[in-house]
Amino acid sequence: MNIKTIKEHLNDVLRVTDFKNLGERKVGKVRDVYTKPDQITLISTDRHSSFDRIIAHIPFKGEILNQISLFWFNNTKDIIQNHVLNIPDQAILIAKNCKPLPIEAIVRGYITGVTSTSLWTHYQDGKRDFGNFVLPEGLKKNHKLDAPVFTPSTKFEEHDRTLSPDEIVAEGLMTRELIIEVEKVAKELFLRGQKIALERGLILIDTKYEFGLDENNKLILIDEIHTPDSSRYWKATSYQDRINKGEEPEYFDKEFLRMWFKDNCDPYTDETLPEAPADLIAELARRYIEIFEMLTGKTFKHDFTQTPIERVAASLSNL
């Protein structure tokens, strides 16, 4: 799909849903989640969140994220069971209702980042011992680690904290046996993700997984997996050349939209935000489509015969 077509459909977005027969509704940053005792219905909207608020709506984003997750769920189900029950629409996932674990399982394959919690920032500050792994001297930014590292964080707190597995056990968040299993499975998923992504011209840099326990207290993969919202990717074809030149790798990056808002308002405190330029919205939609097509090997197709909310409603009515 080209930029011209995308621009013609900038208002063809799924903003919010409010279905009365799907169970209790919870509105997340991107997804509307409906809960019943035996299952949950996750509807991926086109909301784009940053600065702890919705800053834009990106055409096709929700259905792309949902379809990328489905691709990865199907390609990792030999490693661990997942919560998928049915996909009645490109933007809808009907899943098994499980008990979520209180941590996000974050796995990193490269030493990179600019935030205060990034591996590279800690490394520059002299930190080498991270509790469950020790990094050697002499590492350079954006280089691959000898093996993926596990840096879990809390999930149900106002401000998430990065904790070592020992700290997770000491705080009573999880048992030793369970956190060991989570780390093992998370690293297996990440290595599978890196392998498949590289075959398709992409480098999976880091990601987060969410796990739960099923009705038999067995570990299960929930939420999403390896989407551009939960993972970071570089383009593999240009990586080494850019590293050799001392340049940053080529990201599938959403930062340009965040920077526009930072340059044109105070997105943290302004009550009303300006509307993002159409060119930026279209470019971000194009990037989502590109990564979908690279990862899945499929051409992205969208149903233009009805609005997204009409399509979603029709899909749910057929269940």
Residue 98 CA to residue 42 CA, distance in Å, equals 13
Extract the tokens encoding 167. Answer: 């700290």
Q: What is the dihedral of CA 94, 51, 120, 198, to 10 degrees?
A: 40
> Identity (one letter) of the amino acid at 237?
T
Bridge partners of 48, per DSSP, are 56
Residue 93 CA to residue 65 CA, distance in Å, equals 11
* Helix, strand and coil percent figures for the chain, each rounded to 5: 35, 25, 40
Cβ–Cβ contacts within 10 Å for residue 17, how many? 21
**pLDDT at position 266:** 94
**pLDDT at position 250:** 93
Nearest in space to 182 (alpha carbons), one of 224, 221, 156 = 221
The segments of the chain whose pLDDT lies below 70 read 158
Strands 219-222 and 153-154: unpaired
H-assigned helices in the chain: 3-8, 61-76, 119-124, 165-170, 176-199, 236-244, 255-264, 278-296, 308-317
Q: What is the pTM of this model?
A: 0.94
Architecture in CATH of 99-244: 2-Layer Sandwich (3.30)
Residue 166 CA to residue 74 CA, distance in Å, equals 32
Extract the tokens encoding 63. Answer: 């259905």
Residue 15 CA to residue 75 CA, distance in Å, equals 30
**pLDDT at position 51:** 87
**pLDDT at position 253:** 78
**pLDDT at position 155:** 86
